[in-house]
Structure 1
Amino acid sequence: MTATMHKGIFFDVDDTLYDHLTPFRGAVQEVAQPADSFPYEAAYHRMRYYSDRLSEELGGAGAAAYGEAVREMRVRRFQLALAEFGIALDEKQAEAVQRVYHERQFRIEMFDGARELLRTLVEAGHIIGLITNGPEAHQMNKIRAMNLGDLIPPERLFVSGAVGWDKPDARIFRHVNEATGTRPEHSYYIGDSWRNDVVGALAAGWHVIWFNHRGVKPESDHEPHHVAASYKELGELLARLGCV
């Protein structure tokens, strides 16, 4: 069987393989100390919105070259997001939130069932990999923290900062097809972000599984091929699709 006859099944990283809300909640709690009723999940989604928007303004994947600008962007996203929920952070406080958030991102626990599903897909003979936005060193540190080296070889780890295109740019998905010998019609992408994962993979002609474990609403009229809210659902779906 040639590589192009195998299915290519690729995953996002942040908030798809592990709970990205956990380091956010911990950082905000430690520094800002909001009330117990603070809506962490809603604030987290706004932080990710500002992160995407400000990163795009800096030039996307190429922004890794602007070291100081990226540091300022990461601080600013917390100020903008938390301000919407009544928390005004000065620059020093926002820097502290970012610092704690960064430190906690490497204390990663994968979602229940995630590692087991990856192993099952690898054992089934599929081409498994990761596609993630961000600076190469930063994202690779997260991937190493998940200890996935026995499941996914380095040549199937695609980080926008190294590749040169950010999701949702369809070119990053086309690059993955070229690099792995897969075809769009045989490629699946699993991710939580509507803007980056669903929209981008659809534009590249891939099959899209929206990992909507937070129960958020679609942001446009794009239509993912499938939706799963947990790794149990995802495993059952992939079984129905003949992947396991």
Structure 2
Amino acid sequence: MLNAQAFFFDLDDTLVDFGKARRKALIALAGQLAARIPNQSPDQQRDLQSRIVEDRTRRGTDMPQDGDFRGTRIRIWNEVLALIGAPRLADPGQLTDDHDLLTRQNLELYPDADASIRWANDRFQVTGIITNGPSDVQWGEVYAVGLEDRVNRVIVAGDVDAFKPDPRIFEAALEGLGVPPQAAVFIGNSAAHDAAGAVQAGWSAIWLNRDDDTYPASLPSPTATVTTLDELPALFG
């Protein structure tokens, strides 16, 4: 790892606090939905808002087998509307789009991200980001926090039709660089998608464990583990 030439970051919950932004967006959107239901007291509206947040969070956003993120999320929101007895919207994608917009508006870099990006640019020949998700959503996040010009390349799963941990997305990241997999390093918060995916692609993998989780014994072990991005320079001497 000390002789690495390329260093790539995951985006969501690695460089940006996606979970926090997504929850703020969900709470705001749930409040708007609850207010549309007539004949409610303020307390009833708040209770309904909490139910919407709880139900939408419980349903999650699992990666669809067919790659249709938007269709999957529209279906989930329609299920939430049915739960609260609200009619479907004329534009079925409005809630999904509103959720994405509110998320971008609340998105922030982690406090340790800026210095770590500068360190990586000084230390390695090539730097980049590899992120799962639809092209429009992930690029929207990149632009929202001004990362488009901070690294050499950004690889979005929706652009290359391969999602971590698929080795093809890691191959796409190195395409045309002349950097072999064994000279590349990837850091991310997901044990399964980021750390294990990078290892299986022949890269060095650093697992970012911000939340004191336990690494699954069933997955290939990462090359290293850190709890903050501030720990990266010490790994490379």
Alignment TM-score, normalising by the size of structure 1: 0.73
* 1:238 matched to 2:233: yes
Aligned length: 214
Counterpart Cα distance in 1 of 2:154 and 2:119: 18
Matches within 5 A, 1:108-187: 108-153=107-152, 156-187=153-184
* 1:203 matched to 2:203: no
Does structure 1 retain, via aligned residues, the 8 Å contact 2:155–2:172? no
- Which of residues 210, 216, 227 in structure 2 aligns to 1:229? 227
Matches within 5 A, 1:46-125: 47=60, 50-52=61-63, 55=64, 57-58=65-66, 60=67, 63=68, 70-77=69-76, 88=83, 92=88, 98-107=96-105, 108-125=107-124
Matches within 5 A, 1:27-38: 27-32=25-30
Please name the residue that 2:5 is paired with: 7
Per-residue Cα deviation, 1:62-96 (whole angstroms, up to 9, x for no partner): x4xxxxxx43301345688x8xxxx9456749967
- Provide structure 1 residue ranges, at least 5 long, that are not aligned to the other structure: 64-69
Does structure 1 retain, via aligned residues, the 8 Å contact 2:70–2:96? no
Counterpart Cα distance in 1 of 2:13 and 2:173: 21
Does structure 2 retain, via aligned residues, the 8 Å contact 1:27–1:98? no
Counterpart Cα distance in 2 of 1:125 and 1:45: 40
% identity of equivalent residues: 29
Counterpart Cα distance in 2 of 1:135 and 1:173: 17
Alignment TM-score, normalising by the size of structure 2: 0.74
Counterpart Cα distance in 1 of 2:225 and 2:57: 21
- Provide structure 2 residue ranges, at least 5 long, that are not aligned to the other structure: 32-45
Distance 1:218 1:46, change over 3 A: farther
Distance 1:100 1:218, change over 3 A: farther
Please name the residue that 2:43 is paired with: none
Counterpart Cα distance in 2 of 1:228 and 1:20: 19
Give SS of 2:104's match: coil
Distance 1:194 1:44, change over 3 A: farther
Range with greater deviation from structure 2 (158-167 or 173-182)? 173-182
Counterpart Cα distance in 1 of 2:16 and 2:202: 26
Does structure 2 retain, via aligned residues, the 8 Å contact 1:130–1:157? yes
Please name the residue that 1:218 is paired with: 215
Give SS of 2:128's match: strand
Per-residue Cα deviation, 1:29-63 (whole angstroms, up to 9, x for no partner): 2244677999x89x85862xx422xx2x21x3xx4
How large is the RMSD of aligned CA atoms in angstroms? 3.3
Range with greater deviation from structure 2 (210-219 or 90-99)? 90-99
Give SS of 1:13's match: coil
Counterpart Cα distance in 2 of 1:124 and 1:31: 42
Q: How far does residue 237 in structure 1 lie from its aligned partner after superposition?
A: 3.5
